[in-house]
Amino acid sequence: MTFVPPDLMPALPEIFVATMACLVLVIDVYLPEARRTTTLWLSIATLLFAALLTLATAPEARVPGFHGHFVRDAMGDVLKIGVYLSMAAALLYSRDYLRNRTLFKGEYYVLALFAVLGMMVMISAASFLTVYLGLELLSLSLYALVAFDREDGRCSESAMKYFVLGALASGMLLYGISMMYGATGSLNLASVAQAIAGKGDKTLVLIFGTAFLVVGLAFKLGAVPFHMWLPDVYQGAPTSVTMIVASAPKLAAFALTMRILVEGVAPLGADWQQMLMVLAALSIAAGNVIAIAQTNIKRLLAYSTISHVGFILLGFVAGTAEGYAASMFYALTYVLMTVGSFGLLILCGRAGVEIENISDLKGLNDRSPWLAFMMLVLMMSTAGIPFLVGFYAKFAVLQAVVAQGFVGLAIFAVILSVIGAFYYLRVVKVMYFDKAEDDTTLSVSADAQVLMGANGLAVMLLGVYPSGLMALCSAAIH
């Protein structure tokens, strides 16, 4: 056997981020406490430069690499850029939050960079082996980040829950992978698809394996009935970490679903589409209905995430290129809105004051009209009010579903979204019409304010002109 050294160029962004994560780890040790911001700016610069690098080295067509373990394609590039930007925004939003809670440490940024690397590996995975390793790299970094505030018992508790349920999910996924390997004799996703297609009839072990893969993915996405960890982790983790857990990993989970189900187990589409249909319907129903009863805003956003995950899965139920593109659009805009909403919660807090309950947002309009307006835009968009991006995302997914004849499912989703709009509007009502308990004006640093503005503006602009991003998603999927 002669060995051909792999071409490293397609993996340049991965190599860059890995190198920089190690460098940040070493540089941070030599920084005095007062110059800790250098670590933050270095991490953000790494993410932005990685985005440029990804753009600069974007290949014309799909490039496989590393002997079938890696793939570089347009879908991966778009999602990766989404990951870099949302992570950079999340790090910038949480600077003052971390500083006020003595969590402003170098390890936070190192773990965040490794989480980004894990997501990149997942997005570019072309074999079950890299799928699993990327997932573990991401999950391990996230477990540590959730437990980062070790003085706080709730953090440790939610980290423990996340760890145990995450390990269970990994076990399910591995079990499914081992069955697929047993049935097809290959770990490479493309060869698995070929082997299944070549077999003709579906064997039991394949369907069994697919079911386990779907359960593992549903756990990681947080789809009902595998959503139990989500509200507890969202509530227990420091808000800045909740923002990280809630945003970019969903892009990676979308990519994972694309790679495993659509590329790997494609010939069994009819089987997993039925499973996903049940998951999607349950998620949309449970997410929207249970959220109404929440008083804690982090738990509310967790149930909101669950219902959004349902919508992302709806695009897969459609099973067409339009459906996948709509799902991808939905995932990208969901991340944009989530980073914004959690960013706001972080900016509204001060040293010793954390925004926990919806009532903590009382009279936000009197305290900071700018932040209140941004929250209004984000909540309206998340609820799916027309002319904001959230509406178009829902519309595109439903259009793809209806085109495949699932009219009943679409009507069900619309009715529950209308029910769900109630709790988003309640947040708006509390901000604008209730009296504040303390009416000190909020002071927010200039860079965070600019970022918040850009975030809100993106939500509004994409709502009016969604065609650009939508075209990008369609082009990336085809």
Partner 1 sequence: MGFEKFLFYVFAIVLVFASVRVITVRNPVHAALFLVLAFFTSAALWLLLQAEFLAIALVLVYVGAVMVLFLFVVMMLDINVAPLREGFIRNAPLGIAVATIIVIEMALVLTSDRSGLVSGALQNYAADHSNTKELGSVMYTLYAYPFEIAALILLVAIVAAIGLTMRRRQGVRYVDPAEQVAVRREGRVRLVNLAAEKKS
Is residue 208 near partner 1 by the rule CB under 8 A? yes
Contacts of 102 (CB under 8 A, 6+ apart): none
C-beta closer to partner 1: residue 24 or 452: 24
Is residue 242 near partner 1 by the rule CB under 8 A? no
Q: How many residues bind partner 1 (CB under 8 A)?
A: 44
Is residue 185 near partner 1 by the rule CB under 8 A? yes
Interface with partner 1 (CB under 8 A), residue from 86, 141, 210, 338: 141
Is residue 203 near partner 1 by the rule CB under 8 A? yes
Compute CA 466 distance to the chain's CA centroid, rounded to the nearest angstrom. Answer: 20
Closest separation in Å from C-beta 237 to partner 1 = 14
C-beta closer to partner 1: residue 105 or 161: 105
Query: Phi, psi at residue 219, to the nearest 5°?
Result: -60, -50
Is residue 107 near partner 1 by the rule CB under 8 A? yes
Is residue 117 near partner 1 by the rule CB under 8 A? yes
Measured over the CA atoms of residue 119, residue 300, residue 238 and residue 158, the dihedral's sign is negative
Residue 208, classified by CB atoms within 10 Å of its CB into exposed (0-12), middle (13-18) or buried (19+), is: middle
Is residue 148 near partner 1 by the rule CB under 8 A? yes
Q: Which range of residues in 42-50, 104-112, 241-249, 401-409 is near partner 1 by CB under 8 A? A: 104-112
Closest separation in Å from C-beta 296 to partner 1 = 25
Alpha-carbon distance 237 to 258, whole Å? 29
Binding mask 430-459 for partner 1 (x = CB under 8 A): ------------------------------
Interface with partner 1 (CB under 8 A), residue from 75, 81, 98, 206: 206
Do residues 311 and 330 lie in contact, with contact meaning Cβ atoms separated by under 8 Å?
A: yes
Alpha-carbon distance 309 to 317, whole Å? 12
C-beta closer to partner 1: residue 3 or 437: 3
Half-sphere exposure of 27 (CA within 13 A, CB side): 17
Is residue 140 near partner 1 by the rule CB under 8 A? yes
Do residues 330 and 315 lie in contact, with contact meaning Cβ atoms separated by under 8 Å?
A: yes
Is residue 130 near partner 1 by the rule CB under 8 A? yes
Closest separation in Å from C-beta 159 to partner 1 = 9
3-state DSSP call for residue 154? Answer: helix
Is residue 18 near partner 1 by the rule CB under 8 A? yes
3-state DSSP call for residue 368? Answer: coil
User: 336, 316, 181, 192: which is closest to 250 by C-alpha?
Assistant: 336
Is residue 129 near partner 1 by the rule CB under 8 A? yes
Closest separation in Å from C-beta 136 to partner 1 = 6
Is residue 167 near partner 1 by the rule CB under 8 A? no
- By CB under 8 A, the residues from 69 to 88 that bind partner 1 are 69-70
3-state DSSP call for residue 278? Answer: helix
Interface with partner 1 (CB under 8 A), residue from 12, 16, 23, 25: 25
Do residues 371 and 348 lie in contact, with contact meaning Cβ atoms separated by under 8 Å?
A: yes
Q: Which residue has the tokens 């394949």?
A: 206
Contacts of 179 (CB under 8 A, 6+ apart): 205, 206, 208, 209, 212
Phi-psi region of 288 (alpha: psi -120 to 50; beta: other; left: phi over 0): alpha
Is residue 150 near partner 1 by the rule CB under 8 A? yes
Closest separation in Å from C-beta 234 to partner 1 = 20
Strands (E), 322-378: none
Alpha-carbon distance 203 to 447, whole Å? 57
Summarize as ranges the residues that interact with partner 1 (CB under 8 A): 1, 3, 6, 11, 18, 22, 25, 65-67, 69-70, 105, 107, 110-111, 114, 117, 121, 127, 129-130, 133-134, 136-137, 140-141, 143-144, 147-148, 150, 182-185, 199, 201, 203-206, 208
